[in-house]
Amino acid sequence: MTINNELRRSQRFSDYKLRPRKWHAYRYNAEEAQQYADLRKDRIGTKKKYSKKKARIIAKRILDDKWSPQMIAETHKELKLSRNTIYNWIYRGMIPGVSESNLRYRHKYRRGRPQRTAEMDTKEKRAAELKAERKRVKQKEKQLIRPLKHSIEERPVGVDKRKIFGHWEVDCVLPKRGYKQVFVTFCERKTRYYIVLKAKSQSGKAVCKVLEQFMGLFGRRVKNIVQSFTFDNGFEFANHFVINKVQREYELMAYFAHPYSPAERGSNENANRMLREYFPKRTHFEYVNNDDIRRVLHKINKRPKAVLNYKAPRDVFRQKMHEIDRTFGYKQHLRCSKNTNKR
């Protein structure tokens, strides 16, 4: 009986074990052994996540692009950071130039009531006069437009659930008291794409001119991109000028939300809040030009959103535009519209 049979192993096993092997003799050196041990000791434990490069990326996104830690964590996967880690770094002062005051959602503290002055009394008196004047105009217009208004309850189910593209929420962002020029904001319900145009005043005629400008942005594709508007009950929208413009001239539906229900136009209200980060309250828009608005819109539409699977509204809207171009063959017209916009 051979060794392989006794051990129940193959011939290859015995050849491997019995063949001559090379070996080297080393003299023990205590200093080298200690250096090697120290090197291995430094590598134990969890690797540190913090680095100056990561801190610079986070600071740029928060300060320049107004992103939240959640957006940074979901978009920059290469950082391998969670939302809570970024928050902890900010609270500990580990991100240069960034503090809790730079975050979009933060604690707000009550301020003491200011002392009354004669200037404050004059402003309040003027505000009361403007409020009474608006109320008189509003009561007259209500009698004219009541039969023409369509409630938001008449809106189709597909529009309510954001399954259909091309339905826009419209709102008005007001300036500092005493100034006339306002922002008229448009937000597409499905893609959350945001557009801001400036109106000369809050009147119905001024809003109609903004609607003409908005409809002209899309050229021949306007029928596929704009299918309805959802307004609030402000007097700038709930008037016969705007309703006739939308329903008769453009042959589109104009829906009106319930009074004191901003949640029914939540996408637009949220986008307006982002706009206020760049144009805070008590600021006027007299010296704001189209280039300023374009730069702000670029940053807002570039922010990733959780509801869009952390895609940017700009990218989702472009994808829809390309689908419309392929379906209806608007490629040639798209070039023309770009040239006209550059002018």
Q: Tell me which DSSP letter residue 202 carries.
A: S
Query: Measuring CA to CA, which residue among 195, 122, 189 is closest to residue 158?
Result: 189
Mean pLDDT of 243-259: 92
Q: 103-160, pLDDT tens digit by residue?
A: 877 654 444 455 556 776 787 788 888 888 777 766 665 555 555 688 899 999 999 9
Residue-wise burial string across 136-172, b where 16 or more C-beta atoms lie within 10 A, e elsewhere: eeeeebeeebeebbeebeebeeebeeeeebbbbbbbb
87 and 140 share a domain?
no
Has residue 291 got a pLDDT over 70? yes
b vs e for 310-322, b when ≥16 Cβ sit within 10 Å of the residue's Cβ?
A: ebbbbebbeebbe
Q: Which of 59, 86, 107 is the last residue of a domain?
A: 107
Please give the Cα distance from 76 to 81 (Å, whole number).
Answer: 8
Spell out the residues 6+ positions from residue 129 whose beta carbon is closer than 8 angstroms to its own: none
pLDDT at 339 over 60: no
Residues 327 and 272 in one domain: yes
Least confident of 121-125, 212-216, 238-242: 121-125
User: Domains in the chain: how many in total?
Assistant: 2
In a domain, 20, yes or no: no
- Per-residue confidence at 42, pLDDT binned at 50, 70, 90? confident
- Render pLDDT for 262-288 as a digit per residue (tens, 0 to 9): 899 999 999 999 999 999 988 899 999
**Three-class DSSP category at 312:** coil
Q: Are 260 and 325 in a shared domain?
A: yes
**Any idea what the CATH number is for the domain that residue 246 is in?**
3.30.420.10
Helix (H) or strand (E) holding 172: strand 167-173
Q: Which helix (H) or strand (E) holds 121?
A: helix 118-145
Q: Please tell me whether residues 73 and 168 are part of one structural domain.
A: no
More confident residue, 331 or 236: 236
Local confidence band at 61 (pLDDT 50, 70, 90 cut-offs) = very high
Domain boundary among 75, 107, 139: 107
Same-domain check for residues 52 and 124: no
With a cut of 80, say whether residue 189 has pLDDT above it.
Answer: yes
Domain match, 230 and 188 both: yes
Residue 15 lies in a domain: no
What element of type H or E holds 168?
strand 167-173
Residue 1 lies in a domain: no
Give yes or no: residues 127 and 234 share one domain. yes
Q: Would you tell me how many other CB atoms lie within 10 Å of the CB of residue 97?
A: 11
The residue that leads in pLDDT, 233 or 314, is: 314
DSSP string, 230-277: EE-S-TTTSSHHHHHIIIIIS--EEEEPPTT-GGGGHHHHHHHHHHHH
Work out the average pLDDT over 65-86: 92
In this model, does residue 333 exceed pLDDT 90? no
Mean pLDDT, rounded, for 219-240: 91
19 domain residue, yes or no: no
Tell me which of 107, 136, 151 is where a domain ends.
107
At 338, the pLDDT band (50, 70, 90 cuts) reads very low
Q: What is the pLDDT of residue 197?
A: 96
Looking at the domain assignment, is residue 127 inside a domain?
yes
Does pLDDT of 314 surpass 60?
yes
143 in the same domain as 90: no
**Residue 2, domain member (yes or no):** no
Same domain, 274 and 206: yes
307 located within any domain: yes
| 222 and 166 in a common domain | yes
Structural domain boundaries, residue 46: 27-107
Tokens found for residue 46: 């969890």
pLDDT score recorded for residue 106: 63
**What is the pLDDT of the chain when averaged over all its residues?**
85
Which amino acid appears at position 10 of this protein?
S
Indicate whether 222 belongs to any domain.
yes
Q: Domain check: are 287 and 233 in the same one?
A: yes
Token pair of 155, please? Answer: 């809106």
pLDDT (0 to 100) of residue 142: 58
**Sorting pLDDT into bands at 50, 70 and 90, what band is 183?**
very high
Take residue 136 and report the two structure tokens written for it.
């008189």
Examine the domain organization and report whether 127 and 202 are in the same domain. yes
Specify the 3-state DSSP secondary structure of 210.
helix
Tally Cβ neighbours within 10 Å of residue 206.
Answer: 18
pTM for the full model?
0.72
